[in-house]
Amino acid sequence: MDVHLETFVPLIKKSKGFDELKREVIDQDLCSGCGNCSAFCQHIDLDENSIPYLVGECTLKNGSIKCSIEGTCYDSCPMVEYNFKELEKKIFGKVGEDWIGNYIKIVAAKAKDERILERCQDGGVATALLIAALEQNLVNAATVVTGWDLWKNTVKVTSDINEIIKAAGTKYLRSSTPNAFGRNLKYYKRIAIIGTGCQISGIRKFMEESSMRILLEKTKESDVPVDLYLIGLFCYENFPKKSFEERIKERYDITLSDIKKMDIKRGFVYIWTKSGKEIKEKVAKAFGKIAPSSCKLCKDFTARLSDISLGSVGSKKGYTTVIIRTKKGLSLFEKALENGYLEVNEEINSEEILKTAQSKLKYNKKERERRRSLGLRIVTNWD
């Protein structure tokens, strides 16, 4: 049988790299600023709104044919076209029945440590789980986002308990957590990573669908295999710093440094200023105008690909809603419970979680129509 060279040509096709990522995501105003694409590439950096840009030259431009399956940056982006449900099936063995996704159980819980309760957003479960994972030797580092006072989100990969407690509380500005995780993987191999749905799905995509999978498998034979605990946060939207700063000045005549705490709950935004002012307004009215297109299209409110997801809706004040999804997530939660880091309350309102998750679908529909009329790309990953 004659074998022609052309038979092999498609097998050595050039990877999609940063150029394609820029064209399909960044230039289409679809970048969520998750920080996944820069995690493993020295040629990518992030600006203050967490938007990636090239530093030097993408290796593919030097004639390399492959950089992971597509480019490593492209493979780990949650906003390029991919099938979210296929990925969910790979991880859990099945697609979740509704927008809460797959889970073993859902409970409400709160931290027991007063130092956490003083600073946390809801019940302090996120902080307590990170500390339990470290102290019970499940991981040797955790990611946290610090910097609320300075309004400059700084992501740290740390094993310092005081630093983890200090970082409690939600920062509604973009953080680049996966970037910090990737860049610290050479120092810490067992990490608890906390992030929003797009951050977690980017990491899962990277672990399951890039050449990293092979590398991760290989580390199983080493003394310290890579081992990640993925803790997701419910997320409706997340703001780029510049537009947020302009909006609060225009609407409330306050600056970033005036803000003591902020919360987004059940459709309302609450802002407490250092001078004692309390602002409460419908989130759509306050910030709908500046919510990024990526967040309006995203349907993953409950961070469905995590080991454990945490949020405020679904449980009463002072508690965190905990969706335990995987055996790994369950073992972490049980260790934290048995060793006195947490207390549990079974009172959960699943309807409320589902309702909030579903309300994102309306947002999505409207944004699709807007983008269609402008001829912009639409992300259909979660359909």
Ligand X SMILES: Cc1cc2nc3c(=O)[nH]c(=O)nc-3n(C[C@H](O)[C@H](O)[C@H](O)COP(=O)(O)OP(=O)(O)OC[C@H]3O[C@@H](n4cnc5c(N)ncnc54)[C@H](O)[C@@H]3O)c2cc1C
Whether 314 and 306 have beta carbons less than 8 Å apart is answered as: no
Residue 312 CB burial class (10 angstroms; 0-12, 13-18, ≥19): buried
Nearest to residue 80, comparing CAs of 175, 236, 232, 205?
A: 205
Distance CA 274, CA 261 (A): 8
Quick one: which segment of 64-72, 123-131, 181-189, 363-371 binds ligand SF4 (CB under 6 A)?
A: 64-72
Q: Which contacts (CB < 8 Å, 24+ apart) does range 179-182 have?
A: 179/35, 179/36, 179/38, 179/39, 179/46, 179/155, 180/35, 180/143, 180/155, 180/156, 181/39, 181/143, 181/157, 182/38, 182/39, 182/40
Least Å distance, CB 147 to ligand X, is 9
Q: Could you say which DSSP state residue 156 is in?
A: E
Under the binding rule (CB under 6 A), the answer on residue 177 touching ligand X is: yes
Whether 267 and 282 have beta carbons less than 8 Å apart is answered as: yes
Residue 195 binding result from ligand SF4, ligand X, none, given CB thresholds of 5 to 8 Å by partner type = ligand X
Q: Report the 3 state secondary structure along 289-323.
A: HHCCHHHHHCCCCCCCCCCEEEECCCCCCCCEEEE
Least Å distance, CB 277 to ligand SF4, is 27
Under the binding rule (CB under 6 A), the answer on residue 100 touching ligand X is: no
Quick one: which segment of 74-82, 128-136, 181-189, 324-332 binds ligand SF4 (CB under 6 A)?
A: 74-82
Quick one: which segment of 64-72, 118-126, 219-227, 344-352 binds ligand X (CB under 6 A)?
A: 118-126
Under the binding rule (CB under 6 A), the answer on residue 101 touching ligand SF4 is: no
Distance CA 210, CA 204 (A): 10
Under the binding rule (CB under 6 A), the answer on residue 287 touching ligand SF4 is: no
State which of residues 44, 73, 131, 310 lies at the interface with ligand X (CB under 6 A): 310
State which of residues 126, 129, 168, 198 lies at the interface with ligand SF4 (CB under 6 A): 198
Under the binding rule (CB under 6 A), the answer on residue 181 touching ligand X is: no
Report strand pairing: 141-146 vs 190-196: parallel
Least Å distance, CB 277 to ligand X, is 21
The footprint of ligand X on this chain (CB under 6 A) covers a number of residues equal to 33
Of 1-40, binders to ligand SF4 (CB under 6 A) are 17-18, 21, 25-26, 31-37
Residue 323 binding result from ligand SF4, ligand X, none, given CB thresholds of 5 to 8 Å by partner type = none
Under the binding rule (CB under 6 A), the answer on residue 353 touching ligand SF4 is: no
Of 1-30, binders to ligand X (CB under 6 A) are none
Distance CA 88, CA 201 (A): 9
Residue 67 binding result from ligand SF4, ligand X, none, given CB thresholds of 5 to 8 Å by partner type = ligand SF4
Q: Report the 3 state secondary structure along 323-358.
A: EECCHHHHHHHHHHHHCCCEEEECCCCHHHHHHHHH
Residue nearest to ligand SF4 (CB): 71
Nearest to residue 71, comparing CAs of 32, 31, 19?
A: 19
**Closer by beta carbon to ligand X, 315 or else 326:** 315
Supply φ then ψ for residue 29, to 5 degrees.
60, 40
Under the binding rule (CB under 6 A), the answer on residue 52 touching ligand SF4 is: yes
Least Å distance, CB 84 to ligand X, is 19
Distance CA 261, CA 20 (A): 39
CA distances (Å), 80 to each of 15, 36, 212, in order? 14, 12, 18
Residue 234 binding result from ligand SF4, ligand X, none, given CB thresholds of 5 to 8 Å by partner type = ligand X
State which of residues 293, 312, 326, 364 lies at the interface with ligand X (CB under 6 A): 312
Report the length, in residues, of the chain: 383
Binding site for ligand SF4 (CB under 6 A): 17-18, 21, 25-26, 31-37, 41, 43-44, 52, 58-60, 67, 71-73, 76-79, 196-198, 202, 235-238, 294-295, 298, 300
Report the interface residues with ligand X, using CB under 6 A. Answer: 120-127, 130, 144-145, 167-172, 175, 177, 194-196, 233-236, 238, 264, 310-313, 320
